[in-house]
Structure 1
């Protein structure tokens, strides 16, 4: 990796020092750190009590989620874990009964007397192992169901949420935190099973030891405590390394996509960006690698110290047990059982420490997930039960909208009437309120002031889905859906007319010849970069979006900059088709190409969230001081 420049004394941290102008080597990437991300340094800042308190909550949330998706598999896991713990307890008890006979002077007689207890021990151990395997099978069946349920719930609620929810402060951050919770659901049941299994095994071993001799419980604690504390410290070291590299890894991952995608391949090569970007990417790889290596030494020291202390205490335990056995205070059988139980408890404790740290993190993100789900559900589009009809007239009665957290309205109260058969053009500079007005007309957003009525139906009290069935929308950013051509046109609408209706919609936007040239016609997959399908140009995607809206034959047709990427022929065809089909619907067009506004019956000019003027194109352009006239004159001077 090229050597980076040294930071001058007094220079700000995390900023690479400036290089001489003639130095051809690229500067190292700046240090990036997402200080505002949720749960930063959660493991470092949490006390053992915080972790212990969070884990039961995480387990309860996991259990509720598992129970909701598959009760039979959840119950199977719980029963198997209890039976596995009982198997361990029976095995240890049987061993304690067999050992006195095995240590008798006559080995043959002792073995004969011990075999019933040994048989029970083997059967109990086999039963415990079988229960663990069965629980593992049930978990593997349960995990994908939990992951799918969590993901589907999150996606579904995003699609149902009011659009205004997306504009609330911190919505994206909360959504991303909930996404992490949904993604971690993939291993949720497995981690919870291993953690609870460790608890069951530890309790079983401790119970048996206590029943054999009360002193053994204290000996057990001393033998496993150093290992447990070492595990917690080691987990914190692992987390600290993860926390210090998460920003670099995230940025590196984003950059990797940009470096390998075909979308930027032309620019990368033609502008000779490869040497710098390769050096940048290598620097980020080295930075992540270096910090992970830095954590290896303290991790080794902590692990060695914990192992040494555990070994010392274990040796002390064996010496103590030997002394008790020699003095006659404890039988040799009980001492042997204590050693076996301590090994069992040690393995169980390792699982508890390791997966306890994992479940602590699960608890944080699961809380985010459930909190976000509750928030989105409360803002879901459940406005009313009235079914909205296909409107002949749309009336805005003092309708305005203010986005959450804003003092200034995006759209001041507007009073307008739109009639079926009319083509209305919305014109205005960026930020004038055109998109907000479209959202209110189509019922995508409920006004924060006044009302929007489709005939006599107030959209604020109507079932949102029933209104949207009558809407055809071509937004500025339309979806390049990775589906076949047919589904890209019929998306969201039943195919009532078969392929004939699909070809008719394609013909209206001039896409017939282009679709016929595709290798599989309407069955061609439009996702070349992902699945090896075919790709369309930007203008062709816009035509397809217009075909999708026209196929719906909506009562309210709204087009927001529908021809920005089309050639002149395509643009002319779209607007000619709009005029031909205008009689049966209310048509609203947003465009900055003012020559296209001539075809509208009425032009509404917005300025800073207010309706500044409205009328026919010719009348407004001819009016002195008209904003439309000013904008049109500027367009002609280009």
Structure 2
């Protein structure tokens, strides 16, 4: 990402006026301070498909658009074949209707040009009726195709989104660590989001192609020279449309970084989560200046594009007008030379207008489909990639373990040369509370992932009794695990679901209240407006929010409600008060006889309750034993860390 400082003159001027009321009450030393520097210019050079439209040739666009249409057709076929067939049939019938209408007009015009208007109308009315009927049929087919598209679009969007989300949830955790995974995931997500418009855009584009083909076919059948006349009338407009589309896209491309960052900042400026900090630290002035600068940059670049857009449009329209005059002159010459009847010339004019409207749709929606197609290809490529990385290790059904044994188990993250966990041989027994201790980066979280089967070691084995987790069904392993991670989910669900999440529903709420009581959340939940039915999401109307410590208690309740054979808590009380922390660790001791309990914490006073302390250092087990033994050992790392904690 490159960063370039720009003056932001307009933003600075706007902010100075806006902040006048505030600065009037500020001490003189502060009012004299210069305006802040404009925020840096952001340009995400690594963004996929950057300058895609500018760099693409007409051949690239012509090649990509059929591919995008094919991918859209496959998506449509997979979600609703009946609606997909309806759209195709309606498009074809609409094109046939256009061809019939033009042919009928060609038949009717010679009869209308006779000396007696009544006689001409009497002879022409069957052809005119056929033309009207064909136009009505074409309009009806368009409406029916639009109805089918509106039914198809949400299904395509849902199918694309559900597939992407499902594969993310089923992928091995190692997939997230692969280089560039998040970038490819974001590009695929854009493809999934744009799927909502794909069917509609494809329908309009193909309709334009069919209408253009129908007009060209009719004209060619009337007189071979009319195809050239058609090209004379539509080519200038087509080229002008392509250039104008590139200007639009260039503005979009040059402002996308500013718009994205502005959008993120807008949420931070308006959310209640940061309202206290924003006000108490007097951030409003600068942040308003920053936001105004971003708005001015986007606005300025859009205004810059207005002039070239106008010039190109005027030039294309002028050239199109000259070519249209040339078309009429050509038609007049053919009529005067006797090579073409006046009726056929009139039909050519009508057909050229039809073709012009069709070409406008082709240009507009062709550029849209080209860009959509890039991200749609990303979507399909990413889906194939993640599908090959989903968790599929074996069919052995894991049972609640009496012991967990690591035999020379190590793990190296993708694209890393050094193992996060060096080969470790270690046994954990049921009924035992084990504490993992170590400095940041010592390998504690990675070790937890291995012993719970979230990842399999790159070397060595992790055994639950005699079952190698690398060959076990992952879901069968996780059914016996309760995990409280450092970053637990504040799920926007009811309080009940936040405790029972992932477990079958049972009649009555006794177990739920029991889990809440174990972690000291009973009073807080009963004080909520709807108790267990209260939505825990303040951003939603009627929702309520918990404090950080209460969310941690709820995460502990969720793990305890599972009554797992393997209970793992990674910094479970970092935001709790002393009373809550004491209650959690007291409950862990009470639950310990029926499970293997593992605790990771930097609060070393809590380590006293563990039966065994395992101290990790740079991915290896440096020492292990009881808390008192290790503290009393000379040059013990635990003793050193504990002494540092006591000195604070």
1:372 to 361, 379, 382: 382
TM norm structure 2: 0.95
Structure 2: stretches of 5+ with no match in the other structure = 13-28
Match in the other structure for 2:15: none
- Per-residue CA deviation, residues 54-78 of structure 1 (Å, 9 max, x unaligned), is 0011000000011000000000000
Match in the other structure for 1:79: 89
**Alpha-carbon offset, residue 588 of structure 1:** 0.3
Match in the other structure for 2:250: 240
Q: How does 1:112-511 map to 2 (within 5 A)?
A: 112-496=122-506, 498-511=508-521
Decide whether the 8 Å contact of 2:4 with 2:42 is kept in 1.
no
**Counterpart of 1:528 in 2: which secondary structure?**
coil
- Per-residue CA deviation, residues 385-428 of structure 1 (Å, 9 max, x unaligned), is 11111111111111100000000000001111111111100000
Match in the other structure for 2:628: 618
**Counterpart of 2:404 in 1: which secondary structure?**
strand
**Counterpart of 2:440 in 1: which secondary structure?**
coil
Decide whether the 8 Å contact of 1:16 with 1:30 is kept in 2.
no
Q: Taking structure 1 as reference, are residues 74 and 509 closer, same or farther at Cα in structure 2, changes over 3 Å only? A: same
TM norm structure 1: 0.97
Tell me, in whole angstroms, the C-alpha distance in 2 between the residues paired with 1:213 and 1:513. 88
Tell me, in whole angstroms, the C-alpha distance in 2 between the residues paired with 1:16 and 1:320. 56
**Counterpart of 1:531 in 2: which secondary structure?**
coil
Structure 1: stretches of 5+ with no match in the other structure = 1-11
**Alpha-carbon offset, residue 528 of structure 1:** 1.4
Tell me, in whole angstroms, the C-alpha distance in 1 between the residues paired with 2:4 and 2:548. 44
Comparing 271-280 with 422-431, greater Cα deviation is found at: 271-280
Match in the other structure for 2:641: 631
**Counterpart of 2:517 in 1: which secondary structure?**
helix
Match in the other structure for 2:539: 529
**Alpha-carbon offset, residue 496 of structure 1:** 3.2
Decide whether the 8 Å contact of 1:388 with 1:454 is kept in 2.
yes
Tell me, in whole angstroms, the C-alpha distance in 1 between the residues paired with 2:444 and 2:6. 42
- Per-residue CA deviation, residues 364-399 of structure 1 (Å, 9 max, x unaligned), is 101110111111111100111111111111111111
Tell me, in whole angstroms, the C-alpha distance in 1 between the residues paired with 2:610 and 2:639. 16
**Counterpart of 1:149 in 2: which secondary structure?**
helix
**Counterpart of 2:624 in 1: which secondary structure?**
strand
Tell me, in whole angstroms, the C-alpha distance in 1 between the residues paired with 2:647 and 2:499. 38
Structure 1 segments of 4+ aligned residues over 6 angstroms from their partners: 17-21
2:64 to 51, 54, 69: 54
Decide whether the 8 Å contact of 2:8 with 2:293 is kept in 1.
no
**Counterpart of 1:478 in 2: which secondary structure?**
coil
2:36 to 23, 26, 42: 26
Tell me, in whole angstroms, the C-alpha distance in 1 between the residues paired with 2:483 and 2:489. 12
Comparing 26-35 with 295-304, greater Cα deviation is found at: 26-35
Q: Taking structure 1 as reference, are residues 329 and 235 closer, same or farther at Cα in structure 2, changes over 3 Å only? A: same
**Alpha-carbon offset, residue 288 of structure 1:** 0.5
**Counterpart of 1:394 in 2: which secondary structure?**
strand
Tell me, in whole angstroms, the C-alpha distance in 2 between the residues paired with 1:385 and 1:211. 66
**Counterpart of 1:355 in 2: which secondary structure?**
helix
**Alpha-carbon offset, residue 552 of structure 1:** 0.3
Tell me, in whole angstroms, the C-alpha distance in 2 between the residues paired with 1:336 and 1:143. 40
**Alpha-carbon offset, residue 497 of structure 1:** 5.6
1:578 to 588, 595, 598: 588
Match in the other structure for 1:14: 5
Tell me, in whole angstroms, the C-alpha distance in 1 between the residues paired with 2:507 and 2:401. 23
**Alpha-carbon offset, residue 23 of structure 1:** 4.0
- Per-residue CA deviation, residues 256-302 of structure 1 (Å, 9 max, x unaligned), is 11110111111111111111111111111111101000000100110
- Per-residue CA deviation, residues 71-90 of structure 1 (Å, 9 max, x unaligned), is 00000000000010000001
Tell me, in whole angstroms, the C-alpha distance in 2 between the residues paired with 1:39 and 1:582. 54
**Alpha-carbon offset, residue 583 of structure 1:** 0.6
Tell me, in whole angstroms, the C-alpha distance in 2 between the residues paired with 1:82 and 1:389. 60
**Alpha-carbon offset, residue 326 of structure 1:** 2.3
- Per-residue CA deviation, residues 477-512 of structure 1 (Å, 9 max, x unaligned), is 111111111000000011336300000000000111
- Per-residue CA deviation, residues 195-250 of structure 1 (Å, 9 max, x unaligned), is 11110000000000000000000110111000000000000000000111111111
**Counterpart of 1:144 in 2: which secondary structure?**
helix
Tell me, in whole angstroms, the C-alpha distance in 1 between the residues paired with 2:541 and 2:638. 46
**Alpha-carbon offset, residue 14 of structure 1:** 3.3
- Per-residue CA deviation, residues 429-457 of structure 1 (Å, 9 max, x unaligned), is 00000000000011000110001111111
Match in the other structure for 1:5: none
Tell me, in whole angstroms, the C-alpha distance in 1 between the residues paired with 2:333 and 2:360. 28
1:598 to 571, 589, 608: 608
Tell me, in whole angstroms, the C-alpha distance in 2 between the residues paired with 1:16 and 1:194. 44
RMSD: 1.4
**Alpha-carbon offset, residue 15 of structure 1:** 5.2
Decide whether the 8 Å contact of 2:6 with 2:38 is kept in 1.
no
**Counterpart of 1:407 in 2: which secondary structure?**
coil
**Alpha-carbon offset, residue 24 of structure 1:** 2.8
Match in the other structure for 1:7: none
**Alpha-carbon offset, residue 322 of structure 1:** 1.6
Decide whether the 8 Å contact of 1:386 with 1:463 is kept in 2.
yes
